[in-house]
Amino acid sequence: MPELPEVETVRLGLLPALKGRKLVRVTLRRKDLRKPFPAGFAQKLTGAGVLGIARRAKYLLIRLDNDLTLLTHLGMSGRMRFLEAKETPGPHDHVLLETDKGLRIVFCDPRRFGLMTLLATKKEADHPLLRDIGPEPLDAAFTGKALANILAGRKTAIKTALMDQRLIAGIGNIYASEALFRAKISPLRPAHRLTGPETSRLASAIRLVLKAAIKAGGSSLKDHARPDGKMGYFQHSFAVYDRSGQACPGCSCDLSRTGGIQRIVQGGRATFYCPHAQR
């Protein structure tokens, strides 16, 4: 499911249910996801109060009052969902969190590419999973100039660079294609060859598309939904993603002659773009 906007949507959905609450019961329904749960995982969570929830790249950081942070990654298919009163967990509901208000939250992840672990809140920044992540694109410091510095010397294709979490945090396969379309830049361009005006356009496009997607509750293709079950609707605003052969919304060219939006593969992932509108 999840890129930055979807993870942020989950964060906003969980926050009112968890902040200020205490976890009274934690149930693991299997022993691992992408990695095994750490020793004493459920015990350390049980009885802890939730101070708040932060997000870094595609990770959720649930801050607890026992100096620990519950670090969660949703992988491809992970989802957080409130369980109805009489509802029983399904086969892919791997972790159950119950609050002192009786609310049950499940972490559901059919493909199990997700991750849940604990880390010391004070040492958060040094954790191997977090320490090498690049700047947050929604921070004020993420300007065109900052992006130009990040891309300097990078010969890899710009689409691949945008998805590299060490360079920029939180952009995945959908929003990389969508941001490049909005900036009118070809995904195939070597990253270090973008001009100053282009990096400015791209930085703005990234911020705009991420903000619009958060506002829409993310993109619900298959797995993503908000914790309350409501769907995101940004998928209706895709300009290029998963639209190969269709007309490009920024291009008045004749579809039968241009072939419309193209699907190519970069770094093993599908890229969607319009060769006419994006240069």
Residue 98 vs 223, nearer CB to DNA: 223
Q: How far is the CB of 193 from DNA (least distance, A)?
A: 12
| Opening angle at CA 246, ends 241 and 251, nearest 5 | 90
Residue 24 vs 264, nearer CB to DNA: 264
Residue 199 vs 266, nearer CB to DNA: 266
Q: Which of 56, 58, 159, 182 is catalytic?
A: 58
Q: How far is the CB of 214 from DNA (least distance, A)?
A: 12
Q: What is the DSSP letter of 157?
A: B
Give the Cα separation of 74 and 173 in Å (integer).
15
Q: How far is the CB of 114 from DNA (least distance, A)?
A: 9
Residue 129 vs 253, nearer CB to DNA: 129
Q: How far is the CB of 252 from DNA (least distance, A)?
A: 27
Q: Is residue 198 annotated as part of the catalytic site, yes or no?
A: no
Q: Which of 2, 5, 187, 227 is catalytic?
A: 2
Q: How far is the CB of 174 from DNA (least distance, A)?
A: 5
- Contact (Cβ atoms closer than 8 angstroms) between residue 180 and residue 186: yes
Give the Cα separation of 129 and 247 in Å (integer).
40
Q: Is residue 58 annotated as part of the catalytic site, yes or no?
A: yes
Q: Which of 21, 136, 269, 275 is catalytic?
A: 269
What is the signed CA dihedral for 58, 100, 49, 107, rounded to 10 degrees? -20
Size (the chain), residues:
279
Q: Distances in Å between the alpha carbon of 8 and those of 13, 53, 101, 146, 210? A: 9, 10, 24, 23, 10
Q: Is residue 89 annotated as part of the catalytic site, yes or no?
A: no
Taking every pair of Cα atoms in the chain, the longest distance, rounded to a whole number of angstroms, is 64
Q: Is residue 44 annotated as part of the catalytic site, yes or no?
A: no
Q: Give bridge partners of residue 173 from the DSSP assignment.
A: none
Q: Give bridge partners of residue 64 from the DSSP assignment.
A: 50
Residue 48 vs 57, nearer CB to DNA: 57
Binding site for DNA (CB under 7 A): 1-3, 6, 34, 57-58, 73, 75-77, 91-92, 110-113, 115, 129, 153-156, 160, 163, 165, 172-174, 218-224, 232, 266-270
Active-site residues, by number, are: 2-3, 58, 269
